[in-house]
Amino acid sequence: MYDPEDYPEIQSWVSGWDGPLDYVDYLKDQVGLAALVAFAAVLSPRFLQVEGCVLWERSYDGENFAAWRAELNGDVRRIESTLNQLRVWEIVGSNETRADMDALRFVAEVIARCWRAALREEFPERGFEVGVVASVDGPKVTFCSAPV
């Protein structure tokens, strides 16, 4: 499992202090409440049900949904896969270093785990496929209904 203390910026900060500090101390010192609240909302998303689709509330726009529904012939799984995406590199600045790519992947996997749990809790009767997809720009978290 990924160790946040291996990330160079956290490692550098921790080594600059005396005493047993770690990534939680880094978080307390470097990150404000507003950022934590926003990230908590990413980890605990709100969902909508629209014409048989379960959608991440943030990704829903009526006109866009209608366009994709027409384009994809009403295929619920494909509509969900198309609309329910979080491109991790778009929510945080990073470089194309190995350390940043590993960290982005770790963040994406944590978000996917949280989304999986949130979907299971809100829709216990329905199955979902939640995953992390690699792309040229970085990882994407996505979900869609499981095949019936």
Q: What are the extents of the domains in the chain?
A: 1-31, 32-145
pLDDT digits (tens, 9 = 90+) for 66-106: 999 999 999 999 999 999 999 998 898 888 899 999 999 99
* Residue-by-residue DSSP string for 20-72: S--HHHHHHHH--HHHHHHHHHHHS--EEEETTEEEEGGG--HHHHHHHHHHT
Burial of 22 (0-12, 13-18, 19+ CB in 10 A): exposed
pLDDT bin (cut points 50, 70, 90) of residue 53 is very high
Q: Is the pTM of this model over 0.95?
A: no
